[in-house]
Amino acid sequence: MDTMRIETTLRHRDEVPVLDVVGEIDIYTTPQFKEAVSAAINENKPAIIINMTQVTYMDSSGFGTLLSATKRLRPLEGALYLSGCNEAIQRMLQITRLNTIFGVYETEDEALTAAHSEMSAAPAAAV
Amino acid sequence: MYSYSPQPIHSDDHSEFADSDHLFLQVPAMPEQVGLVRRQVADFTRRQLWGVDDADALLLAVGEACNNAINYGQKDVLDPLLTVACSRLSSDELRVDISNQGNGFHPDLDVLARLPEADEFATHGRGFCLITALVDSVEVLSDGVNTTVRLRKSRTVGKNL
């Protein structure tokens, strides 16, 4: 039986939560991915970076999780920032036009810069 | 006409037959099996010398079709099965049939193929849109007992490999 799962690690850069994800995000691993994203959101920060560099596959169930997360961040004037998506994932984001919803960046540094820029422009989030 | 000399592989939880032009897989219709299906289909496209872009597109479409089969099919079936059959139709064209027991799809393909607006936060409804965008043709065949999603894709990259 295929037992491949994903691994997730939450860390911080300049007070911005960064979720490192390794593996495949699909119908099987989405519950685990969802839990990890939810933990990041619970830190009550307006920006979350998801480091996708080591994600080899993501299907529409993963997009559903990202959309739910974005919906939860909206009251904080917050957003998700994806970094290092491979070409296949970028293609899917374009087909579904979700690249207009999430910030999609080549590198984590670029995502961090964009997150800081948005955070400085947005009103302070209520804690 | 293709000669078909399948090499059977059996384990406790899945059946598989493969030769150079075909791949047949039957697994429990469970989320944990979709990764296995994708890897087998990826191996099959690699044997056909397909480029990464075309192989990835087909793989994503197959994955989405498997998700649909598991999520929406076989509600009343005990130990439901997911069947995936890949065939090489020509040097540049593959067909993949994904079958489940039950009615796995909405009968109106136009409804399914409609992409939610980008600013909608609907967490479902994008799978079938992706399938139609990634392959050349999609047919949904149902006999009232089983539903098959038939995908056809031609190679667009590296045709002269």
Q: Considering the entire predicted model, what is its pTM? A: 0.83
Average pLDDT over every residue of A29-48:
95
Report the percentage of chain B scoring pLDDT > 70.
Answer: 73
Q: Report if residue B161 sits inside a domain.
A: no
Q: Report if residue B45 sits inside a domain.
A: yes
Residue A1 has pLDDT above 80, yes or no: no
Q: Report if residue B121 sits inside a domain.
A: yes
Name the more confident of A2 and B70.
Answer: B70
**Chain A residue closest to B63 (CA)?**
A59
Q: Which two tokens stand for residue A36?
A: 């990890």
**Chain A residue closest to B11 (CA)?**
A1
Q: Report if residue B125 sits inside a domain.
A: yes
Q: Report if residue B160 sits inside a domain.
A: no
Name the more confident of A117 and B151.
Answer: B151
pLDDT, tens digit (0-9, with 9 covering 90-100), for B32-50: 999 999 999 999 998 888 8
Chain B: nearest CA to A29, how far in angstroms? 8
Average pLDDT over every residue of B54-74:
90
| Contact: A95, B133; criterion CB under 8 Å | yes
Contact B29, B41 (CB under 8 A): no
Distances (CA, A) of A4 to A7, A22, A92, B44: 10, 11, 22, 20
Contact A73, A41 (CB under 8 A): yes
Q: Which domain holds residue B58?
A: 11-154
Q: Report if residue B111 sits inside a domain.
A: yes
Q: Report if residue B49 sits inside a domain.
A: yes
Q: Which residues of B touch A59 (CB under 8 A)?
A: 60, 63-64, 67, 127, 130
CATH code of residue B125: 3.30.565.10
Q: Which residue has the tokens 């043709």?
A: B137
Q: Which residues of B touch A26 (CB under 8 A)?
A: 31, 34-35, 38, 63, 67
Q: Report if residue B1 sits inside a domain.
A: no
How many structural domains is chain B composed of?
1
pLDDT, tens digit (0-9, with 9 covering 90-100), for B100-136: 987 656 545 555 556 565 555 555 667 888 899 999 9
pLDDT at B29: 92
